[in-house]
Amino acid sequence: MGAAIRPRLGGSGQLTARPSPPSRDRPRSCALRWGATACAAVAGTWGVRHGRSPAVRGWAPGGGVRGRAGPLQVRTAGSGDRATVLLHGIAGTGEAFGAGYDPLAERGRLIVPDVLGFAGSMNEERSDFSAERHLEALDGMAGALRLDGAALTVAGHSMGALLAVRWAARRPETQRVVTFCAPLYRDAAEADRHIGAMGWQERFFALETPFAHRTCAWMCRHRRLAEWVSVAISPQWPVPLSRRGVQHTWHAYLGGMNGLIRSPAWVDALQRLADRAVSVVLADGALDSVPVPGRAAEVAGRFPSVSTSSHPAASHDLPISHPDWCRALLTQAGP
């Protein structure tokens, strides 16, 4: 089709025709259509990845009562003289241990905190989030919930796995420890090499870099917007977990990374647990790149009370994507 024809009067009084100028709105209209198409394609891709994610399919909000226990936000359920404490990973939330773990409340008390500095336990005024402050916060939670003397099972995911081992070692009532995807690094140098080799995102944003610092500072200034940015770039996660994942400060993140993940103190903690013959299970996902390959088996060979377990189809989201499998480990008898 040619340009539109606009009639006009000629000099003889007869009607003639001339082309009308192209519409100025046409390029803008095309750009809008292309933009809408691109947005629809991105949203569709996000929706497909979200719907297919094992973590999204495996997770649902947990039940129980939410409140404060000492310095921590805690979800609790059940009763009795036995208790299971579940500790989440760095930049995470206790809500990661969702409805799939609620049946544990039928066996005793279920206690799921947001660990110090994260999610509901975020404290923007605090700067000290060292390992000792984390442990003291858990002791304060235990005192508030009157856990002294209760038979404890302590479990944790990723950073929370290291925290679980170290806290269990100082709690004489601990009877069993289960770790999920524990980053058992021998020292800070090995931690940096291993994390940096996982990919460019981990190299620039997981470690203590200017990029990571500036990103965290931006999130602190624009917390609500950061929640939805996190959702947009993380279709593999349930939306509530993505949103809560940005609820921490740079000090809290560094405290967890330097005081727990990059620290070799887990070795001494495992030794103290072994001296008391406390059962420890090191559980990993076979597809997880965070743990050092073969490290769990190496540790189990050193400590007779330590055993290993591996889920053949799981990655680092193991306790979120496969809660039934993880819950079974929590309820098994020790080796």
Which letter, b or e, does each residue of 167-178 get, where b requires 16 or more Cβ atoms within 10 Å of its Cβ? bbbebebbbbbb
Is the residue at 25 inside a domain?
no
Domain limits for position 99: 58-331
Q: What is the pLDDT of residue 3?
A: 45
Average pLDDT over residues 98-117: 97
Average pLDDT score over residue span 217-242: 91
More confident residue, 125 or 43: 125
In a domain, 53, yes or no: no
Tell me, yes or no, whether 166 lies in a domain: yes
- The 10s digit of each residue's pLDDT in 39-54 is 676 678 888 889 899 9
Tell me the C-alpha distance between 166 and 153, whole Å. Answer: 13
Give 254-278 pLDDT, tens digit per residue: 999 999 999 999 999 999 999 999 9
Number of structural domains in the chain = 1
Q: Output 215 or 115, whichever has higher pLDDT.
A: 115
Q: Is residue 95 part of a domain?
A: yes
66, 72, 78, 82 alpha-carbon torsion, rounded to 10°:
180
Q: What percent of the chain has a predicted confidence (pLDDT) above 70?
A: 87
Task: Confirm whether 47 is domain-assigned.
Answer: no
| CATH number, position 303 | 3.40.50.1820
Residue 272: inside a domain, yes or no?
A: yes
pLDDT confidence of residue 202: 81
Q: What is the largest CA-CA distance in the chain?
A: 112
300 within a domain of the structure (yes/no): yes
Instruction: Report the mean per-residue pLDDT for the chain.
Output: 90
Say if 299 falls within a structural domain. yes
Whether the pTM exceeds 0.95: the reply is no
Residue pLDDT, tens place only, 153-180: 999 999 999 999 999 999 999 999 999 9
Q: Give Cα separations from 108 to 79, 103, 163, 184 (angstroms).
A: 5, 10, 22, 30
pLDDT at 22 over 70: no
